[in-house]
């Protein structure tokens, strides 16, 4: 059985959908459905069982999980970059991952977990996924630091050669509808454009970047899933690996792609960035994909304009979800 934590969430549900497309249904989905709409991501998926995250952890720690697990793909976490409850993030993102990783290592279970490009901070120290350079990184927000804490713990406890941590960059695509303010810009822009024909982008507060010229490494969900499952298929590989395209594109580029996909004229307003965000904003991210490629992962990546068009026309306009 394959366990997918966060399996009702954005990346987790897309992983389950791709496993289903492979004919795999012996899947235990672990999540916390709460009161939002992410339960809808489950409707097209095929899986053997579902457990709430606390029940699953109790079963693992109490040695009462009565299934044979071959792999854990741990995507469950609080992914809000604006979350200010540091203790909650430590419990949810760090300590929970610690417990699962140690259990998986003790039971010789393949363990793949979601780290984040937020661990790289302002990018001034580069975007290398070399484990030896972890101590140099300074995340800008507590979410990024909670992920960084586990990366450091796994390395310092000798686990990183036995597990895989994936540093996801800016992922967008179907099944993120429940994420409220943490939805991708593509999703937000689609609704803004449909409502009033315009879209808002943050002004730049650094002279080297013009308004909307800040750059990020944007990766389509289907490509991110393909990279993730490469590491499931190649169980002898361990370590930290970036999940991005290796190409930084501007927010202006991304906005233009959404307008084009919707057949609308481009109309962008540049808006003030909230004061609370200005010191925590990443102006540039670009995954160094060299290590991932050396590992043998050569997933054909979808050009941003093509991916945005598919997301808009095949999913957003149809209010549709991934799933076999």
Do 75 and 101 meet the contact criterion of CB atoms below 8 Å apart?
no
Task: List own/partner pairs for 203-211 with CB under 8 A and 24 or more apart.
Answer: 203/270, 203/271, 203/272, 203/273, 204/283, 205/273, 205/278, 206/283, 209/283, 209/284, 211/270
- Name the catalytic one among 53, 179, 188, 291: 179
Which stretch of DSSP H or E encloses residue 57?
helix 53-61
- Name the catalytic one among 143, 145, 241, 311: 143
Quote the CA–CA distance of 324 and 307 in Å, as a whole number.
19
Do 241 and 167 meet the contact criterion of CB atoms below 8 Å apart?
yes
Which residues lie below 8 Å from residue 235, measured CB to CB, with a gap of 6+? 71, 110
Quote the CA–CA distance of 148 and 153 in Å, as a whole number.
9
Query: Is 179 considered catalytic here?
Result: yes
Query: Is 120 considered catalytic here?
Result: no
Catalytic residues: 143, 179
């Amino acid at each position: 059985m394959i366990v997918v934590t966060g399996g009702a969430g954005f990346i987790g549900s897309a992983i389950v959908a791709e496993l289903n497309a492979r004919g795999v249904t012996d899947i235990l989905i672990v999540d916390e459905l709460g009161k939002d709409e992410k339960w809808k991501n489950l409707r097209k998926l095929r899986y053997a069982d579902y457990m709430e995250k606390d029940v699953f952890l109790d079963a693992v720690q109490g040695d009462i999980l009565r299934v044979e697990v071959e792999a854990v793909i741990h995507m469950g976490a609080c992914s809000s970059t604006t979350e200010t409850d540091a203790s909650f993030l430590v419990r949810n993102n760090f300590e929970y991952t610690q417990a699962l990783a140690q259990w998986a290592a003790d039971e010789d279970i393949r363990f793949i977990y979601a780290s984040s490009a937020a661990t790289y901070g302002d990018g001034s120290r580069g975007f290398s996924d070399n484990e030896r350079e972890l101590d140099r990184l300074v995340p800008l927000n507590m979410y990024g630091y909670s992920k960084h804490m586990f990366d450091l713990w796994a390395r310092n406890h000798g686990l990183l050669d036995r597990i895989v941590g994936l540093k996801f960059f800016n992922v967008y695509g179907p099944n993120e509808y429940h994420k409220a303010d943490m939805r991708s810009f593509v999703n937000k822009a689609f609704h803004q454009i449909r409502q009033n024909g315009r879209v808002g982008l943050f002004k730049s507060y650094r002279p080297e970047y013009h308004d909307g010229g800040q750059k990020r490494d944007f990766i389509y969900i289907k490509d991110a899933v393909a990279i993730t499952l490469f590491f499931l298929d190649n169980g002898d590989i361990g370590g930290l690996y970036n999940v991005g395209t290796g190409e930084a594109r501007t927010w202006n580029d991304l906005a233009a792609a959404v307008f084009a996909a919707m057949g609308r004229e481009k109309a962008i307003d540049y808006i003030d960035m909230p004061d609370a965000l200005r010191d925590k904003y990443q102006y540039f991210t670009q995954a160094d994909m060299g290590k991932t490629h050396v590992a043998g992962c050569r997933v054909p990546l979808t050009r941003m304009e093509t991916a945005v068009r598919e997301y808009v026309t095949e999913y957003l306009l149809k209010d549709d979800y991934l799933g076999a």
